[in-house]
Amino acid sequence: MSWEQTKVKSFSQESTSANDQTISFNHKLIEIYYYIDPLCSKSWSLEPYLKKLSLQYGHYFTIRPIITTHMTVTNKTYLNPMNLNYSNQRNNHQLRDKQLMQKENNFNHTLSPWTIALAIKAAEFQGKSAGRLFLRKVQQALFLKDTHFSDVSFLLRCARLAHLDMDEFKKDLNSKMAKKALQCDLNLAHEMNVQYAPTIVFFNSLLDEEGIKVSGLHSYHIYTHVLIKILKEQPIPDDLPPLEKFIATSEVVTADEISIIYDWPLKKAENELKKLKLRRIVEKKDNQLCAFWSHIK
C-alpha cells in the first residue's frame, strides 16, 4: 500500500497556527491535514477524491488545508520561499519576491506563489469555509479558466467570487499575521517530513497513536482504506447527493470530477451533464486547458 506511518502526533491539543484562534474547527474523531501547493496540478487533481470523501464520510473528520507553496521532489529538500528562489510550476521560470506585501495600489505586479499562498491564509481569517472557497476559486481560475495572475487584481477577483469581506481581506493581505500563519504551515510540513504535494495525514484525535501519511495522488479506495484503518471500525457512508444538487453547490465542475465522485465511466458523466445542459441547468465552456460546466443560477 502507498502510505506510511508518521511519528508526528496530532496537533489538536496545541496551537501551532497563527490563525487557530480565528478559525474554529468542529471536533470530530478524525483530523485530516491536507498539504497542498495551490499551483500544483496534482494538488488540484486530488480535489474530487477529497470532495467525495467529504460527501460520504465528512461526518467523521475535519480537513485542515496546510499550504506548502513549493517543494522539490528531485532532491527532497524542503524550501522556504522567505529566503530562497524557487520555481513557479505553472510558468516554469524563476521568480524572486522583492516585496511580500504592500498597499494594494503599490502591489508588486508579479504575483509569486508565495504571495498567492499568503492570500489564502488571509482568506482563512474569515473562517474555514471561506478559506477553502477562496482556495477553490484560485485553483479554478488557474486550472479550468486559464487565468493569468499578473497582479493583485487576480486575488481580488477570487476574493469577490468567494464572497469575502473585501476590506478585511485587503487588510489581512498586508498583515504580519498572514505571514506568521503561512510560516506555521511551512513549519508543520517540515515537522511531519512532508516532501510532496499533495500529501494527506490522517490522525485519530482520541488515540495517542501515530498518524498515517499518504503522499501523492492515489485511487479513491486507498483513502477509504486508510480512513477505516485510522478509525479502527467500518464507517457508514452517506449517500451522494443528486448530480443537480452537487453542481449547484460546486458551481463549476468537470466531467472527470463527476466521473470520479459518482464512480461513472467518463462517457456517462458527459452524457449526464449534457442532459442537464438541455434542461438549461448547466452550460459548457471550453478553453485551451479543458472543458468545464458551470451552473446556471
DSSP codes joined into one string, 219-241: -HHHHHHHHHHHHTS-PPPPPPP
Mean pLDDT comparison of 73-82, 102-111, 114-123, 270-279, highest-scoring range: 270-279
For residue 281, name the pLDDT band (cuts at 50, 70, 90).
very high
Say whether pLDDT at 79 is over 60: no
How many other C-beta atoms can be found within 10 angstroms of the C-beta atom of residue 89? 16
246 vs 258: CA distance, rounded Å: 9
Task: Compute the residue count for the chain.
Answer: 297
What is the pLDDT, as a whole number, of residue 75?
A: 28
pTM exceeds cut of 0.85: no
Degrees (nearest 5) of the Cα angle 47, 53, 56?
A: 140
- What is the per-residue pLDDT for 219? 93
Highest mean pLDDT among 2-16, 20-34, 89-103: 20-34
| Position with higher pLDDT, 244 vs 285 | 244
Domains of the chain, with CATH numbers? 4-191 (3.40.30.10), 243-295 (1.10.10)
Between these two residues, 7 and 69, which has the higher pLDDT value? 69
pLDDT digits (tens, 9 = 90+) for 202-257: 999 888 788 999 999 999 999 999 999 999 889 999 999 999 999 999 888 999 99
Per-residue model confidence (pLDDT) at position 39: 87
Supply φ then ψ for residue 222, to 5 degrees.
Answer: -65, -45
Report whether pLDDT(98) > 60: no
What is the per-residue pLDDT across 171-205, written as a single tens digit (0 to 9) for each?
998 899 999 999 999 999 998 889 888 999 999 98
